[in-house]
Homo-oligomer: A and B are copies of this chain.
Amino acid sequence: MASAGAEAEKPGECNDLVQLRNPNIATMKEDVLYHFGLSTSTHDFPAMFGDVKFVCVGGSPSRMKAFIKYVAGELGLDHPGADYPNICMGTDRYTMFKVGPVLSVSHGMGIPSIAIMLHELIKLLYHARCSGVTAIRIGTSGGIGLEPGSVVITRQAVDACFKPEFEQMVLRKRVVRNTDLDERLVRELMQCSADLGEFPTVVGNTMCTLDFYEGQARLDGALCSYTEKDKQEYLQAAYAAGIRNIEMEASVFASMCNACGLRAAVVCVTLLNRLEGDQISSPHDVLAEYQQRPQRLVGHFIKQHLAAARGPRAPARSGPCGCE
C-alpha cells in the first residue's frame, strides 16, 4: 500500500491530505478495517472514496441513512427510486452511505464506539488519498439552560470536570490530547443557521461524558447516590463554565480529527433542558423533527460550500478544502 504522502499532488488540489499518526500503516500489505467489513485487498479505496470532501457522523444508523437521502436531495443528486446501499453491509457494527463528495457514517454511542469508527474512517480516507476533508458530527444531546430543540455548535469539547482535554490510557500511561475544533468552521456554520432562520442556534462548550446517567448527573438511572440539589449545583457550574450541552463523543472526535488534519465541527440538537428534567419524554414526532435540525444546518453548509467551490471566486475565498 503506497503512502498517500508520497503521491504527487494533483493540479488544483490542496496540500491537506488526511494524515495518519502511525508510520506502520504505510508498510502494511493489507489493512483490514474490521468494524467496517472493508479491506484494502478487497476494496479499491481511492475509487470508492477518493472524492470525499465531507464526512458526517452520528450515533444512529437510521438517522445517518436519512441524512444521506436528505443531502442527495439538497445537492440535486437524488432521483426517484434512488437507493443508498450501506457500504458496510458485511458487518452490523457501523453503517456507511455515500452520495457525491459526502460520506455519512454511524458511530454508536460513547467515546469507545466512535473512536473505533474514527480510527478506521481516518485510515479509509488515508488509503483513498483524500484531501481537504471536513468532518462534522451531527448528533443529539442534553441542553443546559436552552429551549429544547436548540442547536449547539461546539466551541470547545470539555470533559466531565469541564477541562478541554481528552484523556486516554496507553500502555499504562496517561495521555492527554487537546480537543480544539476549527474556529472558522464554527463561524461558517453559525452563519448557515442564521441564513436558514429555522431554529435557535448557539455557540457553546460541549461536555462529553463517559456515562449517560450518573456521569451526566441524572436522577433516573439504576444507580444514583446524589440529590436534586447536588445535580443542580453541578449543572449550574457547567453552565457557568460556558457549557451549553452534554453528549458522549465530542472530545475524542475533536482530538482525533485534530491529530490527523481533518477540519472538524460538532453540531448537536438538544432534546431537553437538563435544568428542568432528566427523562426524554417529548412525543416521537417532536423528537424526530428536532433530530432533523443538525441535518438541515449541515446540509445547507455543504450545499453552499460546493456551490462556492464551483463559483469563480471560490478557490480564493471558501473552497471546500479550507485554503485561503
Residues of chain A at the chain B interface (Cβ within 8 Å):
20-25, 28, 30-32, 34-35, 39, 59-62, 90, 92-93, 108-113, 115-116, 118-120, 122-123, 126, 159-161, 168-172, 175, 209-215, 217, 219-226, 230-231, 234, 248, 256, 259-260, 279-281, 284
What does DSSP make chain A's interface, helix, strand, loop or mixed?
A: loop
Chain B residues whose C-beta falls within 8 Å of the C-beta of A234 in the assembled complex: 171-172
Q: From A60, which residue of chain B is reached at the shortest CB distance?
A: B92
Q: Decide: B168 and A215 in contact? CB cutoff 8 A.
A: yes
Q: Which residues of B contact A160 (CB under 8 A)?
A: 169, 172
Cβ contact within 8 Å between B116 and A213: yes
Closest Cβ neighbor of A41 among chain B residues: B281
In whole angstroms, how far apart are the Cα atoms of A120 and B213 in the complex?
10
Given the known interface contacts A123-B222, A226-B170, the answer about A113 and B110 at a Cβ–Cβ threshold of 8 Å is yes
Closest residue of B by beta carbon distance from A222: B122
**Inter-subunit contact B217/A171 (CB<8 Å):** yes
Please list the 8 inter-chain residue pairs (A to B) with the smallest Cβ-Cβ separation, ordered nearest first. A110-B112, A22-B224, A122-B222, A21-B223, A160-B169, A34-B280, A119-B221, A108-B108
A311 to chain B, nearest CB (A): 34
A32: chain B residues at CB < 8 Å are 279-281
Cβ contacts under 8 Å, A35 to chain B:
109
* Identical copies of this chain, number: 2
- Which residue of chain B is the closest to A159 with respect to CB atoms? B169
Find out whether the CB atom of A113 lies under 8 angstroms from the CB atom of B119. Answer: no
Among A23, A116, A169, A220, residue most surrounded by chain B Cβ atoms (within 10 Å): A220
A119-B213, A224-B21, A224-B22 given; A161·B172 CB < 8 A = yes
Q: Is the CB of A210 within 8 A of B93?
A: no
Query: What would 30 A/B residue contacts be, using CB atoms closer than 8 Å?
Result: A21-B224, A21-B225, A22-B219, A22-B222, A25-B220, A25-B222, A31-B279, A34-B281, A39-B281, A60-B92, A60-B93, A93-B109, A109-B112, A109-B116, A112-B113, A112-B209, A112-B212, A115-B210, A116-B212, A118-B222, A119-B212, A119-B223, A123-B221, A161-B169, A168-B210, A170-B217, A170-B226, A171-B226, A172-B234, A222-B256
* A281 and B168 contact, CB distance less than 8 A: no
In the complex, chain B residues whose CB is within 8 Å of the CB of A25: 220, 222
Q: How far is the CA of A209 from the CA of B210 in the complex (A)?
A: 13
Cβ-defined contact, B60 with A223, below 8 A = no
Q: Which B residues are in CB contact (< 8 Å) with A111?
A: 110, 112, 210
Given A169-B160, A234-B171, CB of A22 within 8 Å of CB of B223: yes
What's the least CB distance linking A248 to chain B, in Å? 6
Complex contacts, A90 vs chain B, CB 8 Å? 284
Question: For the complex, what is the distance from the CA of A119 to the CA of B222, rounded to whole Å?
Answer: 5
Residue pair A220, B171 in contact (C-beta under 8 Å): no
Q: With A and B bound together, what is the CA distance between A223 and B214 in angstroms?
A: 31
Instruction: Kindly list chain B residues whose C-beta atoms are within 8 Å of the C-beta of A113.
Output: 108-110, 112-113
Other 14 A-B pairs with CB < 8 A, given A168-B211, A169-B209 = A23-B224, A24-B219, A30-B281, A32-B279, A39-B281, A61-B92, A109-B116, A110-B111, A110-B113, A111-B112, A116-B211, A122-B222, A160-B172, A222-B259
